[in-house]
Amino acid sequence: MASSDIPSSVLIIGSGAFGLSTAWALCKNPQFENTSITVVDRNTFPSSDGSSVDSSRIIRPDYAAAPYARLATIAQNRWRTDFAPEHYHEVGLAVTASGPEQKYVGDSLANVQNIGVDRVEVLNSAEEIGRACGLEQNHDEACGRTGYVNWSSGWADAAGALVWLRKEVEKYNRVNFVVASVKKLLFDFEKDTVSGATLADGSELCADLTVLAAGAWSTSLIDLRGICKSTGQVLCYTPISAEEEAAMAKLPTILNLSNALFRIPPSKGMLKIARHGHGYINPTTIPHPESQNPNETITVSLPYTHVTDPNLVVPLEGRKACREFLQSIHPSLATPSRPFTMTRICWYTDTRDGDFLITHHPKWKGLFVATGGSGHGFKFLPVIGDAILECVQGRTPEEFKERWRWPEQRVSEEQWVGDGSRGGPVGMVLSEEFAKGDTKL
């Protein structure tokens, strides 16, 4: 789309970080002052099982890939100053490893040093990691053998920041927010065009430009096989006293890339232990989203969440991993009298190399895809909408042109290399983990 081709209407599917930030960017940009903007989401805001809605998300420039380190630095400066600063806490992040993920740690350290972060402390042993992170115990396998702490990184209350942004968007009084589930995009098979979406009740939302920002559900609305894969990640929460919370509030997040487990400072009386790993897949056979033939199907991994099943509990394997991690680093908080009272599976939209997918669809005119967060998209909330709009207008930032484009070929998921940041178990299928049964932990 040339910058002269300003759409008269934009429909954004999804009001998570990618969708809402795009709506904000449209509102702010005078070129789009006559464009009508609709945001549709299947859940009332903030979408309780959306990837962007949680007590916390890490905000870091600590990336092995320099372009993300640079963009995250720009985003982080906003978090520090004018973007929901009350929801941002700069307490540091320790990135550690004990296996091949040490390469990611080393590259990331070099990048943050290159961008001039001076509050970095290299950690050469489990003891040093334990001291920097305020751990009660330090074992290599739990907390990592080497790493560094970037005291300039932090975390944000994700749900709080998203609500903050929604209020900013509402100030413009330009966006029509619709709560409804998109069933299918409106395809014109003769003109290879998308002109909006059909909702679950059969009604239609039409637009010149449709932006698909449905996160891990995007794979149900277009064929993203070999391009994006939804993977379920484990989150476990345990209540914590006000004194304990205060004592841990200034500790850095510790993220061990080798076992993929992390502890982030507690918030609102809950301590969260989670896994940034390969995740579970949930293969599901659905009607081919881009086909005219109702009998044609595809099988893709789709989110299975507490909205799908209100009684959903993380599989035993995941709770055990989080429990053992907590036990290793903070035994006093992992006694039998302190169970995880809340668990959640939160879904990444993974790509083969951890890059986002922010691009016009190569076939369908009028369709723009903004997804592929790959477990690291939230921190960009202050800037990702502007970047998406640049891509919409054909001005993709040079260093992201290759990274964010629609891949030339679909690659089978077994061959994906990832971005080097993921450790922990591989190849887990959610239904198989559920089928193993559940012994109370």
Check residue 274 for interaction with ligand FAD (CB under 6 A). yes
Asked if 211 and 10 count as a contact pair (C-beta separation under 8 A), the reply is: yes
Question: Is the C-alpha dihedral spanning 428, 434, 437, 439 positive or negative?
Answer: positive
Considering the complex, what minimum distance in angstroms separates the CB of residue 124 from ligand FAD?
A: 25
Please say whether the beta carbons of 23 and 36 come within 8 A: no
Q: How many residues bind ligand FAD (CB under 6 A)?
A: 38
Site string for ligand FAD, 91-110 (x = CB under 6 A): --------------------
3-class secondary-structure state, position 15: coil
Least Å distance between CB 240 and ligand FAD? 19
Residue identified by tokens 């509990």 is: 313
**Residue (of 383, 370, 303) closest to 11 by Cα position:** 370
Name the minimum Å distance from CB 314 to ligand FAD: 11
Select the span of 85-93, 116-124, 376-384, 430-438 touching ligand FAD (CB under 6 A): 376-384
Report, in Å, the least distance between residue 333 CB and ligand FAD.
Answer: 20
Q: Hey, what amino acid is at 283? A: P
Task: Tell me which stretch binds ligand FAD (CB under 6 A): 48-56, 132-140, 244-252, 322-330.
Answer: 48-56
For strand 283-287 and strand 280-281, is the pairing parallel, antiparallel, or unpaired? unpaired
Nearer to ligand FAD, 23 or 333 (CB): 23
Contact between 325 and ligand FAD (CB under 6 A)?
Answer: no
Per CB under 6 A, the list member of 182, 211, 281, 367 interacting with ligand FAD is 182
Could you tell me if 262 and 187 are in contact, meaning their C-beta atoms sit under 8 angstroms apart?
no
Please, what sign has the CA dihedral across residues 66, 70, 410, 5? negative
- Are 133 and 251 a contacting pair, CB within 8 Å? yes
| 220-249 binders of ligand FAD (CB under 6 A) | 233, 235
| Positions in 411-440 near ligand FAD (CB under 6 A) | none
Is residue 57 near ligand FAD by the rule CB under 6 A? yes
CB-nearest residue to ligand FAD: 16
In this complex, which beta carbon is closest to ligand FAD, that of residue 249 or of residue 332? 249
373 part of the interface to ligand FAD, by CB under 6 A: yes
Contact 206, 196 (CB under 8 A): yes
Strand order in the sheet with 88-89: 57-59, 154-156, 88-89
Nearest partner of 112 among 87, 130, 95, judged by Cα: 95
Cα–Cα distance between 273 and 139 in angstroms, integer?
17
Residue 63 sits in the site that holds ligand FAD (CB under 6 A): no
The verdict on 150 binding ligand FAD (CB under 6 A) reads no
Q: How far is the CB of 139 from ligand FAD (least distance, A)?
A: 24
CB distance 410 to 226 below 8 Å:
yes
Burial of 298 (0-12, 13-18, 19+ CB in 10 A): middle
Q: Which of 9, 22, 38, 52 binds ligand FAD (CB under 6 A)?
A: 52
Assess 111 for contact with ligand FAD (CB under 6 A): no
14 binds ligand FAD (CB under 6 A): yes
Element (H, E) at 215: none
* Residue from the set 29, 125, 137, 181 that interacts with ligand FAD by CB under 6 A: 181
Q: Which residues sit at the interface with ligand FAD, rule CB under 6 A?
A: 13-19, 40-43, 47, 50-52, 57-58, 181-182, 213-217, 233, 235, 274, 346-349, 371, 373, 375-379
